[in-house]
Structure formats: C-alpha cells, structure tokens
Structure 1
Amino acid sequence: MHRIQGRGHIAAAAALATAITGGAAATAVAQDDPGIAVPDGLRVSGALGTEVSSHFISYGTDVWGAGSSWSRPSVFAFSEVSIDFDYFDVTTGVWFDIRESDRGPLGGPINEVDWYLGIGKNIDRFRVDLVYQAWFYTDEGTEEVFDVVLGFDDSDLLFEGFAFNPSLIAHTRLHGPDPDFTGGTVFVFGIEPEYTVMPDGDFPVTFSLPAEVAFGIDGFYADNGFGYAALGVSAGMPLTFIPADYGSWSLGANLTYYWTDADAIGNPRSDFLTGLVGLYLDF
C-alpha cells in the first residue's frame, strides 16, 4: 500500500522513510494486502486512519503553538484510494485536522481539510512520487503545494534484515491565501532504520528510528538555510487477530524530538517533544 497523507504526510511501503509534514510519524505495519480485484485487471486498494497527536507540526512549524504542552492534542484522520496501473500508480485522498478552536473554516472542530493527488513509480530500488496538495484552513482561500519525493530501498545491502530507508522531499509552496505569501521550497533529508521483533510470530512489532533534517530556500522560512532537525522512535504492530475479510488493521505509536531554528521558524519553543498514536486500516 502506497500511502500519502495531507500536509506532506508521505510514505511509500518499505522504500520511503515516513515524512510527516516535516516530522516523523508512527510506523503502521500492515498485514499482507491483497487489494481489490477489478474486471479490467487494475489493482485498487485503500486506506483509512486516525491519529491522536500532541502537536500539529508542518515542516518544523508548531502550527498550534503547543510548545512543551501536550494538553490540547489534535486528531488527524485520512481516507485514500490507490490504483496500480502496473507501470505507475495513482493515489488520491483527504486529510483532516480536528481540534476544538475558533479558527476552523468549516465550523466546529474541523480546522483543516487537505486534498491530495499523487502519481508514483518504482524503478528497481528507487521510488519517485509527484504529489499535488490543496490545503483548506482559512476562509481566505486555499494553499497549494507540490512535492517531489525520492526514496531508496537499501534493504539487505549492508547486511540481511537491515535498511536505512533514505528519502528526500522537495516541498514547494505554489500559492497561498495570504496576500504576503512568499512561496519557497524546503528540502527534507530523512532516514528510517527499522527492525521487526518476531517477524514470524502472531504479533510482530516493528521498531524504527526516523530522523530528518530540513533546509529552506527562496523564503520558505524567515531565514534561508537550516530549518529544523528531528529524531524519533516509532513502533507498529499489525492486529492479526482481526479476520482478513475485515481488512488489514494495525496500531502505531511515535515519539519525536524537534530542534528548530528560532530565527528561521520562530516557534514558541525552539526544541520540544511530540507524541502520536494511530489506528490504521488497509484494504
């Protein structure tokens, strides 16, 4: 299952380290996914997920200004569908930020809705994705972004059962609702080494250490250059006791520590710890 999520949440199965809007997400380990067979031979699959997160981080920016506080978490939810055309695949979906506030453009607790459309291809050990996203979080209009994501599957190259899973995201702001919108691009370099405990058991758990560093150009941050670095620890477990007829369910959890440049980003705190737990369904 190739998974894209809003605000830059992008991950390709095994090939990409998880890149969560400039942060590390929980690793959701899915069971074998047969997809949905359709008459013309295409492979169609889908995903649903919900996450409770202490912070909303977008490429190093502490969106809600939570700082060191975990007292007002956000709930993220997403739904998507992918079609594998053999030569390439297409994924589209929506992502929500749900949190009680007075900013939500849709009223109530829905503060942001993102729509995304991506096209990707596996080339030997490489993965390439081109992703357009429209972020709706204000009555003034929509922010549009475009991502180019490169991943490399280095599984077993150094030694059996190990991979760094390096990735690179070039995230570019195309248009924004603010009349002073500056655009710009941020480059996020990431790795996510992982290891699965008891992979042949009833409840295999995959641990990973996602890490990334980001640099902005052309006014993406207030100062060009270093924006942030992040280091996390993630764990994911498939819920194998749920019958396969009901899809592939899994749980994930993550802790990530951020170091951000005060002059470039200007968060309430320049360094802080975030946490996330999630429930995922692939079918």
Structure 2
Amino acid sequence: MKSLINKWNNKLVKTSCVLAAAALLSPAAFAGTMTSKTVEPVAPVEEDPFVTGTLSFIADTHFISYGFDVWGGGNDFDDVLFHPSLELVFNLGGGLSAIIGTWWDVNDKAESSIGSNVQEIDVWAGLSYATGPVTFTLLYQEWIYAGDAERIVDFKVAFDHFLAPSILVHGRVDNGLGLDNGVVGVLGIAPSIEAGPVTISFPITAAAATEDFHGGDAGFAYASAGVAASIPLVEHVNLSLGVTGYYTNDSVIPTNPDDAFITGFAGIVVTF
C-alpha cells in the first residue's frame, strides 16, 4: 500500500512540475518582454471595370472636320452648335479593349434629312490595344448626313508621355455623297498640367491631306493650337471648356470662308 501511495505522490509531483513549467513558459509569464507577430490584412486587388464610358454635352461655336469649316462659320459665327456624344469602352483583358460610340450634330442651320434639328449622326466601333507606353486604336465609322453616309477608317497610335504625342491616319474609304476617297494624316501633342483640381491641356496639331480630300490640292492642310480646361463639379462630372485657333491652307481646303479663325466650346462631361 505504501508503495502505491508513493507512486501516486511521485505522479502528482511530476504533474505539478510540468504544469508549473508550462505556466512559466506561457506568453503571459513574459508579459512586457515578448511580442507576438500579427498578420497584416491583405488589401483586395482592385480589378479594372469591364465597362467604362464618357457622356458629353458640348456646345461649340464651329463644326470643324479635319480643318474643314463645315457650316462656314469663319470669323463671323453667330450661332451655337450642340454636339452630344457617348462612348463605351469594354475591357477584354490583356490590354485589349472594344469601343463603340456615337456623336451628333444638332442645329438649325439647314433642313435636316434625319429629323428635327439633327443634321448628322456619327457611329463607330473598333478595338484598342495598350502595350507598355503605346496604345493602338482602330475604328470603323459611319457619318450619316445629307441622306447618305460617309464611311471612315481611323488608325491612331498614342504614347503615354508628358507631351501625349499621337499619330492619326484618317481615311475616307467609301461614301455616297460624291466625295473623293482619301487620307488625312494628323500629328498631335497635348501636354497638360494640374492646377489644384483643374486639369489644363494644350492640344497642338498639324495635318496633311491627299488630293481632293477637301476639294483641293494635296499637301499641308491645317495646323491648330488651343487650351482646354477640365474642372470637376461633382464626382465623375466635369465642366470642360476651351478655345482653339486654326490656320488652314486654302489650296488644300478651298471652301473655308476664312483661312485663320478661332473656335470655342463648353459643356458637361460625365465619366463612369
């Protein structure tokens, strides 16, 4: 019996020693001297939205189409033209995007073949591919006016640089309006600066056209320089306004009433 009691006593002593050692080695026993590692929460990766868009409601003093003063405003313009537009961009992944859009010319300059005061409706669709600092965009367009359509293919290369340089090849490939097919090439830059919440840009372009594209000779067609501002009003809504000066070559664009003139615009741009 004594042997059995001694075994139980020895077992209790060992158990007490183990519990005491565990208590001494627990984190609480080293309070103030031992720090524990905490796992930082991993922020979720924000994915680019599948669809983004731009909706614009712009009032213009002129309608200028690659240097051509469509409504002949020149320096004696006395009317305001309304030009709403909508463009949607679909993110297809891997730098590839699909684009669709429309632009309208609304005014009372002439009797409309479309209806009301809608003089022209342009629609387009195409693809854009971004790789590194370069973005390539290819668009097919239908410019619907005067009871028929002008068909356009545009190819643009834009560079992510502080000067925002770009090269655009604008080709008229088919039409039922008696216009000659041809090409206009446009070189442009559009550097910008931030002034608080306001973005100010300085677009500059120079262009050349093939023979009879605007009813004249081939060669230098026009140059333009302007200043534009984008002013945030509320989230995703900006006030956009600016002025642009044009110089056009009357041997290439013979129908403009003035070779040099100034245009202006103002309106609301909604991004989503």
Normalised to the residue count of structure 1, the TM-score between the two structures is 0.76
2:53 partner letter? G
Q: CA RMSD in A?
A: 1.6
The answer to whether residue 209 in structure 2 is matched with residue 216 in structure 1 is yes
Deviations, residues 171-197 of structure 1 (Å, cap 9, x unaligned): 00011122x331100000000111001
* Aligned match of 1:57: 64
Deviations, residues 229-276 of structure 1 (Å, cap 9, x unaligned): 00101111122xx3x5xxx11111110000000111020000000000
Q: Residue 220 of structure 1: SS of its match in structure 2?
A: coil
- Quickly say closer, same or farther: Cα 1:219–1:101, change in 2 above 3 A: closer
Where structure 1 has 5 or more consecutive residues not aligned to the other structure, the ranges are 1-33, 38-42, 155-162, 199-203
The 5-angstrom pairing of residues 2-17 of structure 1 reads none
Given candidates 189, 192, 197, the residue that maps to 1:191 is 189
What is the CA-CA distance between 1:82 and the residue it aligns to?
1.5
* Aligned match of 1:168: 167
What is the CA-CA distance between 1:36 and the residue it aligns to?
8.8
2:108 partner letter? E
- Quickly say closer, same or farther: Cα 1:35–1:256, change in 2 above 3 A: farther
2:249 partner letter? D
Q: Residue 85 of structure 1: SS of its match in structure 2?
A: strand
Q: Distance in 2 between matches of 1:58 and 1:67?
A: 13
The 5-angstrom pairing of residues 104-253 of structure 1 reads 104-139=112-147, 141-154=148-161, 163-178=162-177, 180-198=178-196, 204-221=197-214, 222-239=216-233, 242=234, 244=235, 248-253=236-241
Q: Distance in 1 between matches of 2:181 and 2:140?
A: 15
- Quickly say closer, same or farther: Cα 1:84–1:104, change in 2 above 3 A: same
Q: Distance in 1 between matches of 2:167 and 2:141?
A: 18
The answer to whether residue 101 in structure 2 is matched with residue 102 in structure 1 is no
Deviations, residues 95-130 of structure 1 (Å, cap 9, x unaligned): 100001324211221000011102101110001000
The answer to whether residue 270 in structure 2 is matched with residue 270 in structure 1 is no
Normalised to the residue count of structure 2, the TM-score between the two structures is 0.79
Deviations, residues 8-43 of structure 1 (Å, cap 9, x unaligned): xxxxxxxxxxxxxxxxxxxxxxxxxx9995xxxxx1
Percent identity (aligned): 31
Q: Distance in 2 between matches of 1:228 and 1:47?
A: 28
Q: Distance in 1 between matches of 2:210 and 2:258?
A: 22
Given candidates 220, 228, 245, the residue that maps to 1:257 is 245
Aligned partners of 2:51 and 2:90 also within 8 Å = yes
What is the CA-CA distance between 1:47 and the residue it aligns to?
2.0
Q: Distance in 2 between matches of 1:151 and 1:45?
A: 19
- Quickly say closer, same or farther: Cα 1:192–1:68, change in 2 above 3 A: same
Q: Distance in 1 between matches of 2:78 and 2:248?
A: 21
2:190 partner letter? E
What is the CA-CA distance between 1:70 and the residue it aligns to?
3.2
What is the CA-CA distance between 1:81 and the residue it aligns to?
1.8
Aligned partners of 2:88 and 2:99 also within 8 Å = yes
The answer to whether residue 70 in structure 2 is matched with residue 77 in structure 1 is no
Aligned partners of 1:103 and 1:138 also within 8 Å = no
Q: Which has the higher contact order (CA 8 A, sep 6+)?
A: 1
Structure with larger Rg: 2
Where structure 2 has 5 or more consecutive residues not aligned to the other structure, the ranges are 1-45
Q: Distance in 2 between matches of 1:51 and 1:147?
A: 23
- Quickly say closer, same or farther: Cα 1:193–1:105, change in 2 above 3 A: same
